[in-house]
Amino acid sequence: MSRVGLRLPGAGLRQLGPLLANARYEIFPAASAEAAVLEAVPRDVVVTVTASPTRGLEPTLAMTESLAAAGYRVVPHLSARLIRDAAHLREVVARLAAIGVGDVFIPAGDADPPAGEFTSALDVLEHLAGLGNPFERVGITGYPETHPKIGDDVTVQAMWDKRRHATYIVSNLCFDPATLRQWIVRIRRRGVTLPLLVGLAGPVDRTRLVQMATKIGVADSARFVAGHSSAFVKLSTPGAYQPERLLDKVGGTLAAPESLVTGLHVFTFNQVARAEQWRQGLISRLGGVS
């Protein structure tokens, strides 16, 4: 029997049943990840598919089509710097509309140099507005911790600029409960009122994490480690991280109505079955979802 997450639920955790029920899983586009989703993830759980800076959008779109055909609600990541031009964007929109995708996540992405004329998420968001806002739901990124390449003031201003085109925010990985709590308070005081999905690293096996980083390719792996160096260290160190410990420490803030937190965005690192086992186990220990 797995011993993932056997701690007794603390006061913070006991408030988070609804957020666990509204968790969604992020995966990298790989055949093994798709197979794991089909085997382990219920059809009512949202799956998001990232985009590779080196492989382009095609693997993301292909997996979105495949999982949507299997009955999942899928959210593709449309990295701005992988979209060549307005014509390419229209092609992507048409392709997603054909399979009924109504929810997309739009980060800037890490492609350097960019594939074409788009260099920021705001560029794509403004073009989508010009196309009549074809997606019912549009997610953008929030950064509780310092971005490795962008200053804090810039990331906060960018989120403010993008808010009128988006319908929700997904926070990037953060392992410091105080930092996460302060960031949520700060953006709400600033007047950002979009619903928030809190980014959370799922439970991972350290050996498989390293294997996954290798399989996604040397260039993508280097970018991942460079962009998430603190995350990689914490996830790779024995006993350094358990997701329920972080949730327990921030549960009061996440559950507060003024925080406008509506769910969890779980970074699975393609360890989908392990993430779902952890989530279901925690929901069970919390006595179900009220």
**Domain locations in the chain as residue ranges:** 20-201+256-266
| pLDDT, tens only, 162-186 | 889 999 999 988 888 999 999 999 9
Instruction: Read off the DSSP letter of residue 221.
Output: H
pLDDT band at 35 (very low <50, low <70, confident <90, very high): very high
Q: Which residues, at least 6 apart from 41, have a Cβ–Cβ distance to it below 8 Å?
A: 25, 47, 72, 272, 276
Fold exhibited by the domain 20-201+256-266: TIM Barrel (3.20.20)
Average pLDDT taken over every residue of the chain = 86
H or E segment to which residue 112 belongs: none
Contact 80, 124 (CB under 8 A): yes
Question: Tens of pLDDT along 127-165?
Answer: 999 999 999 999 999 988 755 455 455 556 677 788 899
Q: Tell the residue number behind the tokens 């302060």, with chain if given.
A: 182
Partner residues linked to 171 by β-bridges: 142
Whether residue 251 is predicted with pLDDT greater than 90 in this model: the reply is: yes
If you compute the radius of gyration of the chain from its CA atoms, what whole number of angstroms results? 18
Task: Read off the tokens for 231.
Answer: 């995350």
Residue 90 confidence (pLDDT): 98
Quick check: 284 and 43 in contact, CB under 8 A? no
pLDDT confidence of residue 146: 57
Q: 194 with 164: CB under 8 angstroms?
A: no
Residue 38 has φ and ψ, to the nearest 5°, of -60, -35
**pLDDT of amino acid 2:** 40
pTM of the model: 0.87
What is the predicted pLDDT for the residue at 117? 93
- How far is residue 232's CA from residue 254's CA, in Å, rounded to a whole number? 24
Per-residue pLDDT at 229: 53
Please report which confidence band the pLDDT of residue 222 belongs to, taking 50, 70 and 90 as the band edges.
very low
Average pLDDT over residues 70-92: 97
- CA dihedral 248→142→173→283, nearest 10 degrees, is 40
Residues 28, 271 contacting (CB under 8 angstroms): no
**83 to each of 49, 107, 109, 134, how far by Cα in Å?**
16, 11, 10, 16
